[in-house]
Amino acid sequence: MKSTIKEKINSFQEQNKNRARLLIHCHDQPGIVAAVSEFLFQHHANITESNQYTTDPEGGEFFIRLDFECPDLHHKRTQLEQDFRPIAEKFKMEWQFTYVESVKNMAVFVSQEPHCLLELLWEWQSGDLMADIALVISNHETTRDIVESLGIPFYYIPANKDIRAEVEAKQLQLLEEYEVDFIVLARYMQILTPSFVAAHPNRIINIHHSFLPAFVGAKPYERAYNRGVKLIGATSHYVTNDLDEGPIIEQDIGRVNHRDNVERLKKMGQAIERSVLARAVKWHIEDRIIVHGNKTIVF
């Protein structure tokens, strides 16, 4: 199976070898779009998608994501970025070029419940999640057979609060070894330390099984049932040191009623969790997210 996915990735890379994305954030001012468009034109690039947002037309923050094609891009990358620096300095930009053929390596962390992991694996197998799942790390053996049957390395690392530093040292070593670009917590039920989070800023995506900010922390379905809610939901967000309070990427909800017990809420909620996490991961892979403070702009 891994070889089949590798073939899909190779095909994707060949088809997109001349495609790139440019993400920009700066203070809004006249001339930004004109300057960037002229720059790309001068470098023989054709803009294929453009999305922009301004927080306030009168002196707010400006965000833009450009998708473009440029002949012989692989050999132009260094020069392209070097030539862009004067424009970035003029407008005081935070900016980033990403190259579509550079498929991201992702690590998945999971505990006992496999539904979010299974969704990611299905999307990956179908070619709809264009990343390389480099490895899966778990504090339980539950999903080993599923993962290894697809040719993905599986690492069982027992974890609890008493050995957290030792566990994270092993995890960080594996992430470096596999050259991981970002991490997905697919119902990984362990709290990460500040040092671990700091090592991967805005590169750890979590799924929380409630519609945040409601029911932060443990047992949200039980608490939702006891509260008598009529809507349940799920939230995917970047991980920060504040529990379940990082920048939100995606959310969704489902309607429930008084007949639904806790188990029914969990069953319905798991379907929402799967789709919400998959969308968030895809948007991260496609460089559609710009983090601004504790919010996200998703293009």
Residues that are catalytic: 244
- For residue 84, which amino acid is it? F
Report the alpha-carbon distance of residue 215 to residue 221 in Å, rounded. 8
Q: Check: CB of residue 192 under 8 Å from CB of residue 204.
A: yes
User: Residue 114: in which H helix or E strand, if any?
Assistant: none
Report the alpha-carbon distance of residue 8 to residue 45 in Å, rounded. 26
Closest CA to 143 of 127, 154, 134, 135: 154
Question: Which tokens is 174 given?
Answer: 């594996």
Report the alpha-carbon distance of residue 255 to residue 233 in Å, rounded. 9
> Facing residues of 99 across strands?
20
